[in-house]
Chains A and B, each alone.
Chain A
Amino acid sequence: MSADTPAPAFSDPLLRQAVEAALADAAPNAALTSSASGDAGQGDAHWALASQLGWVGTLVPEEAGGLGLDLSHVADLCEVMGRNLFCGPFVETAVLLPALAAGIGGEFAQLLPDAASGTVRIGFCEVDEEDVGEAKAISVSPVEHAQSATHFIFLCEAPDGCVSWMLAPSADAEIAPLQAMDLTCPVARVDIKAASPRKWHTPDEGAAARILAAMHVAIAADLLGMGEAALARTVDHVSGRKQFGTQVGAFQAIKHRLADCYMALSGARLAISHAARDGASRHDAVLARILAADAARKTTAAAIQLHGALGFSWEMDLHLYLKRMLRLSGRNGGTNRLRAAASTSFVDSVINGRP
């Protein structure tokens, strides 16, 4: 985790190295700094890599043209992608879609071969209960990577815990681009017309838990990776920058703040590793996601602060980590909703004597 030691792999160190090397060649971050509106070219370059090298097919079964690997491999991929500020709907297409195909099948499973080849790109939309219905008009904003999506997947998590999913082709949608906070991720408003008929799927509790857990683990790993990258850059900076005749990294105020970041990221790494194992629960995945989001928040704030005025400047790129953290933390109703849900589930288990 430190600047000079590579982070341990969740699954296969060789996979990590390969992804790391490919992304390092493809993605000089400087490409992002020149454009205020997002760089579609960057996203396309990353997606082409992810398709050619088979990353998008990680979870897709071999008979559907994928690699047939498991969640621990996804954790490795997403962490390295986070470190390298990967642009593209990877979690939606390569994690959520195969999880839905495994848990629900049907129209989700039919998309798998094209997803494994990178032709299908998924946009992910979270909606409220009142949007769920066979022919209702739905308007969602912001939707990440909506402009390049071939399909949209809609999720409704009802307050009672009931989870339902719906798939719609992008042909049914009107897409209006919006300004994005995170320039590595274009966003848009997606409008689905009232007339088009749609089917909502409600998987059983176990399947719903596995689908959501896969998404949480993938997002947690991305948050971990970008947090590690932000920390490594900050360690480099404070080790070189001198004031009062000494490296600023020798001051305890700085050491202690970075030690807290290191500790938070290490805890998140352990939790992700735990949640990516077979037999882990949705609760495990939620805890991993919270720990990773908190670690990334702490680390991106420290990165900007400890770079001094440089940290606030556009060309230093540090804002990309901060903005990615914001975007990922807001998924699935946000970290605080997950925190409240985790707390309730724990309190109930103690009071009701559940294990």
Chain B
Amino acid sequence: MNNAEFRSERIAEAPDFLGAEADGEFRNGLREWLARELPRVAGDLIGTAALHSVEFRRKWEDHLCCAGLSGLGWPRELGGHSLPLGKQAIFHEECARAGAPLAVNMIGHGIVAPTIIAYGSAEQKRRFLPSILDNSQVWCQGYSEPGAGSDLAAIATRAERRGDVYVVNGQKIWTSFANIADQCLLLVRTTLDGAPRKGISVLLADMHLPGVSVRPIRQITGEADFNEVFFDNVEVPADCRLGEENAGWKIAMDAANYERSTYFVPRIVRMQAELEALVRLAAGTRRRGRTAIDDPAIRSAIGELHINLHALRLYADRILEMAEQGVPPGVDGSSVKLLWSESHQRLFELAMEILGPDAALGPQEISAPAQGRWGRDFLWTKAETVLAGTSEIHRNIIAERGLGLPR
């Protein structure tokens, strides 16, 4: 049984398929559940761009969590289901296949929770994990700063210990979901002595504390998922420090490992569904007497993506296998991030080529093919080669750690 202490009354008993031993049975049960529940919750939104709005993403995520479908990989004693990574991958695969939108609190579920499980005190686990499990609190990650992007160790946001609080002053930027987040996994500088990496601590900071202000940044998609976050004499209780003082760099790096490995699995399996949608788009697009799918250049580009996606799936399998054995993804994590983000970009570039003159329709134009989703996602993929480590940083990692090239 899952530990009741961690599961609020919002959470119902999980559907039966979750206990299925065989992968096939698990997959079929989940598929049936999704085919029933998604149309029921989404109603008229099925097939519209609004299915991917933040509002519906939250609603759907709430539905999943309240149905007991969260904490899939967490240990049972913390309220989770202890599902092996293989079954978690199937979960994401089937959600993508059913056309369900991505979660909003993916930072909470995918990055913060495993980090708290690994480094948190018993008290911190009791305090923070239940509200991730039932989705009542959304998390963001306070990492990048105006002067610390790729060079993350250069962060300058200060946290000074005064009695039983840390007084935080500084600024974060490019913080996803900060505008709706309740909590923040916050990297702060707790000492100026010694090497930059040795003066960093991690705080679990309440975003509703006095002195926290958030300013959304409008992106090239027209939306605002990223934010600036300002900390002005914010008093974070000292018992919200994760791990030891000045030992935050390793925690941040481990969290990045989650980000680069299991966190990407849903995105990789989603890409398979996107590529199939692209093939159908090309098969349904007729221009100047010819169907786009019969254009050899388009067909060749689709083949290229299919081949890359094959490699990407095998990388993902390998990383899952390694994660099962407790081995961090290391250089392979960088390869996956690069291959995923660059192939994803290429996929949407190709979609825009197929759309031809329709590419001139804006990302919020409801009369555009797929209600503007192709255009919106084309723009969004430009963020993916920058977030979670730029392509340049990952190539440095591969060259230095994989090939042993000089720094």
Contacts and interface: CB of A to CB of B under 8 A. Distances in A.
Contacts of B276: 350
Interface in A237-272: 238-239, 246-247, 249-250, 252, 254-256, 258-260, 262-263, 266-268, 270-271
Q: Give chain B's interface secondary structure class.
A: helix
B127 interface: no
A307 interface: no
Contacts of A3: 403-404
A201 to B, nearest CB: 31
Interface string B376-406: 0000000000000000101110111011111
Interface string A117-160: 00000000000000000000000000000000000000000000
Contacts of B339: 263, 267
B311 A271 contact: yes
A255 B300 CA distance: 29
Interface in A1-43: 1-4
Nearest to B404: A2
Interface stretch (A108-116, A167-175, A340-348): A340-348
B307 A256 contact: no
A343 B402 contact: no
Contact of B396 (A247, A252, A266): A252
A270 B315 contact: yes
Give the bracket for the number of chain B residues in contact with chain A. Answer: 35 or more
Contact of B318 (A246, A270, A344): A270
B335 interface: yes
A287 B302 contact: no
Contacts of B293: 347, 351
B358 interface: no
B280 A344 contact: no
A239 to B, nearest CB: 6
A273 B310 CA distance: 13
A290 interface: yes
Given A252-B396, A258-B403, A344-B299, A263 B306 contact: no
A246 B406 CA distance: 9
A290 B276 CA distance: 21
Interface string B196-223: 0000000000000000000000000000
B108 to A, nearest CB: 31
A2 B315 CA distance: 18
B398 A259 contact: yes
B392 A256 contact: yes
B182 interface: no
B395 A249 contact: no
Interface string B325-345: 000000010010011000000
Contact of A270 (B280, B303, B311): B311
Contacts of B399: 249, 255-256, 258-259, 262
Nearest to B400: A255
A224 interface: no
A214 interface: no
B370 interface: no
A239 B396 CA distance: 15
A351 B198 CA distance: 55
B402 A351 contact: no
Contacts of A185: none
Contact of A255 (B299, B338, B405): B405
Interface of A: 1-4, 231, 235, 238-239, 246-247, 249-250, 252, 254-256, 258-260, 262-263, 266-268, 270-271, 273-274, 287, 290-291, 339-340, 342-344, 346-347, 350-351
